[in-house]
Amino acid sequence: MTKQTCPVCGAAAVTTAMDLLECGGCGLAFRAEKYFGTPAYSPGLADGIYVSAKAALFSGALDFLSTVVPDKGRLLDIGCAGGELLQAAAARGWSGEGVELDPQLAAKAVAGGLKVHRLPVEKAGLERSSFGAVTVFEVFCLMDKPAAAAAELFHLLKPGGFIYIRDFNAAFHLPLYRMEELGLFAFLGASPSVIHNFNFRAKTLKVLLERAGFRDIRIRNSRPTAGDPYRTGGRLGGFLPGALKVLYYWLAQALRGLTLGRVFAGSALIVTARK
């Protein structure tokens, strides 16, 4: 059994049956050998993933940030892709810029008139205490050093600035991954789980932000992306997986209410925090 130190909380982590290391302290599940490949999507799939599927999620993030940072100012989007969130932010009065490591996506954002940094945020040399808000949509799971990135984002924010995070919930995806490994979805051709280099539970994200210095940390289940942008539903097509995601979201919300906010079962989590 492989033992390793958790990169978030420093507790001992051991291998599981899924070739992932799991931390007994904060609940992080992570790969011993990280994968940093460029995403390769079928023609037309990227637009669905980065544009239509997340438009409502981006709007919700900007609605929230407009209430807690009313004077707006500078917004930094980590993993900005083609600049979809930044364009929406600019329309609301933010001065936005992004961090994007994928050359093609970064070029698309730049072609749209956006300022994009092409190094990991902890290496980009950005001015500290200069941003009113930071958004991070499903990127901590792909980072090389998420704890170092969280600490850097804390320093980049102005005092009172906010971070808004959406990431996949390991409490939902790890059981699905186990079922996939057993072949339980094979007859449908479905692959509903999302497993990345780092897989966070609600507790893990709270610990990550606390150690970086953030306060007023709030966690909730995220609404799902619209439809089935990653085409994970197999023979179920696109409509039914989308409808099932919405139904499951409300079931997760009910469970959160019944447990007085102690259990987060949603497929993704939204976390907000203040510097």
What is the C-alpha separation between 26 and 258, in angstroms, rounded? 23
What pLDDT was estimated at residue 34?
82
What pLDDT was estimated at residue 248?
93
List, in order, residues 6 or more apart from 106 with CB less than 8 Å away: 80, 100, 116, 118
Give just the sign of the alpha carbon dihedral 236, 268, 32, 179.
negative
Longest Cα–Cα distance in the chain: 53
What pLDDT was estimated at residue 232?
62
What pLDDT was estimated at residue 11?
95
What pLDDT was estimated at residue 236?
59
Both ends of the chain: CA-CA distance in Å? 39
What pLDDT was estimated at residue 184?
80
What pLDDT was estimated at residue 258?
96
Instruction: State the pTM of this model.
Output: 0.93
Asked if residues 69 and 135 have their Cβ atoms less than 8 Å apart, the reply is: no
The two tokens of residue 237 are: 């097509």
What is the C-alpha separation between 59 and 45, in angstroms, rounded? 21
SS3 of the chain:
CCEEECCCCCCEEEECCCCCEEECCCCCEECCCCCCCCCCCCCCHHHHHHHHCCHHHHHHHHHHHHHHCCCCCEEEEECCCCCHHHHHHHHCCCEEEEECCCHHHHHHHHHCCCEEECCCHHHCCCCCCCEEEEEEECCHHHCCCHHHHHHHHHHHEEEEEEEEEEEEEHHHHHHHHHHHHCCCCHHHCCCCCCCCCEEECHHHHHHHHHHHCCEEEEEEECCCCCCCCCCCCHHHCCHHHHHHHHHHHHHHHHHHHHCCCCCCCCCEEEEEEEC
Backbone angles phi, psi at 139, to 5 degrees: -120, -35
What pLDDT was estimated at residue 47?
64
For each of the chain's 275 residues, which pLDDT tens digit applies? 567 899 999 999 988 767 899 999 999 999 988 877 666 655 555 666 666 779 999 999 999 999 999 999 999 999 999 999 999 999 999 999 999 999 999 999 999 999 999 999 999 999 999 999 999 999 999 999 999 999 999 999 999 999 999 999 999 999 999 988 888 877 777 778 889 999 999 999 999 999 999 999 999 999 998 766 666 655 555 667 678 889 999 999 999 999 999 999 999 999 999 99
Residues pairing with 198 in the sheet: 30
* Domains within the chain, CATH numbers bracketed: 44-274 (3.40.50.150)
